[in-house]
Copies of this chain bind each other. A is one copy, B any other.
Amino acid sequence: MKKIPSLIDVALRAKVNISTVSRTINQTGKIGSETQARVQKAMRELGYKPNRVARRLRTQEGSTHLLGLIIPNIQNIFFADLARGVEDVAYKNNFALLLCNYDEDEAKERFYLDVMQSESVDGIIIPPIHETDPAVLQVVRNGTPVVCVDRSLSSGNLDKVEVDNHIGALRAVEHIIARGHRRIGVIGGPLDSSTGRERLRGFKDAHAKAGLTLKSELIRFGDFKQESGQVHARELLTLPEPPTALFVCNGLMMVGALEAIAALGLKIPRQVAIVGFDELTLADVFNPPLTVVRQPAYEVGKWAADLLLKRIEDPKRPASSLKLLPELIIRKSC
């Protein structure tokens, strides 16, 4: 239970005032070089580490060196990759990361948003739970820098970095059609999320461009969780006239769909072709290897953190909006 040294201890040992110590640490104000040396020495000898809490309390604005990241679920590999991207740039800039999972639960999102403000984070990265997320807007109004990732906010002029979901889905479904499929089932996401909507739009546009008519019984909406992928896939594939191909709108639901297919004993791609959204672990060594549209999750995180850091430095800079391109990785499942 050793006492952790504070500014005072350093000041005492170097025989200077605490303000002098503070100034040598932060390189602010003019301090004589021999005084600096004395202070440095004292700090080294005591193993002094500045107290981030005190620092954050004092300087409400500016670099308290803490970033907040609020995501639906870290178990979703997409968000894990994204988080990793954020973390890497945070670490490079000496920022720590407050990470929370809100599970698509609005109350939880609110709670964590409160925590972040209460912790005086320098900025927050978040995929808003839906397009008009009042809680997020409130945080922005309070002056906390926010950048939206993955999903966007309809109002509020915020920094954001997204993936071009429309083009991703479009390419995927065009590819399915090019493979000769005409009855294509889709397991989409919630329509109040921009990702869900954009991917569905891609699905529809691909049909339109090919002159295909949509079959409403083949359009299902999941909740981006594994379970829903499974039930909808099972339902679709046990239809009297089942689809010959499936387009699944996120990774977790893809896993569920694959489970359903395995349970039904269907062969991919002969009996049912499938293409997913999100690269999965093992997708390339799966049998057959999975055709998916890969989202650059890590890069999304990286860019988001970049943007956030820039905004923290200069709160007045105009909001920028990035849209990264997903990549259709054609393997053997379709």
Contact = CB atoms under 8 A, between A and B. Distances in A.
A51 B101 CA distance: 21
A104 interface: no
Copies of this chain in its oligomeric complex:
2
Interface in A241-285: 255, 258-259, 261-262, 280-285
Nearest to A256: B285
A46 interface: no
A286 B1 CA distance: 51
Interface residues of A, number: 53
A310 interface: no
B118 A53 contact: yes
Given A74-B84, A77-B75, A100 B101 contact: no
Interface stretch (A90-98, A180-188, A208-216): A90-98
Contact of A97 (B66, B83, B99): B99
A259 B280 contact: no
A134 interface: no
B142 A1 contact: yes
Contact of A118 (B2, B49, B101, B282): B49
Contacts of A2: 141-143
B101 A87 contact: yes
Given A52-B119, A75-B84, 15 more contacts: A49-B117, A52-B118, A53-B57, A53-B120, A73-B84, A74-B80, A77-B77, A87-B100, A87-B101, A96-B98, A96-B119, A97-B100, A98-B99, A99-B99, A281-B282
14 contacts: A2-B142, A4-B117, A57-B57, A74-B83, A77-B80, A91-B111, A97-B98, A97-B99, A98-B99, A99-B99, A258-B282, A259-B285, A261-B285, A281-B281
